[in-house]
Amino acid sequence: MAYIKRPDFAGTIYEGHMTFAIRTFWICVMFGIGALALRGVGMEFIILFIGSIWAIVRVVVGLVRAIDAKPIQKPRGWTI
């Protein structure tokens, strides 16, 4: 949905939110692939736990900033 709506938000404070959401999705996919790679040694739950906490924090921060009509400062970064 963020890919579809991204052009509609170009030039607004919400443009960074779309980039932030897209990056969050793809980084979560990378966490999932990493978990699959570690499945053979039984370490997938650690990666999934860390990735889940990271994703939840990013989603909550993004939603709070959107509700407050504030832009995301570094939408292409790993941190918040």
Question: What amino acid is encoded at 24 in this protein?
Answer: T
Instruction: Quote the pTM value.
Output: 0.83
Question: Each residue of 23-71: pLDDT tens digit?
Answer: 999 999 999 999 998 888 888 888 899 999 999 999 999 999 999 999 9
Give the domain ranges of the chain: 2-67
The three-class DSSP label of residue 55 is helix
Above 70 in pLDDT, residue 80? no
The Cα–Cα gap between 59 and 36 comes to 23
Above 80 in pLDDT, residue 78? no
* Locus of tokens 């570094």: 74
What pLDDT does residue 58 have?
92
The Cα–Cα gap between 43 and 48 comes to 9
What pLDDT does residue 73 have?
85
Closest CA to 65 of 80, 79, 54, 55: 80
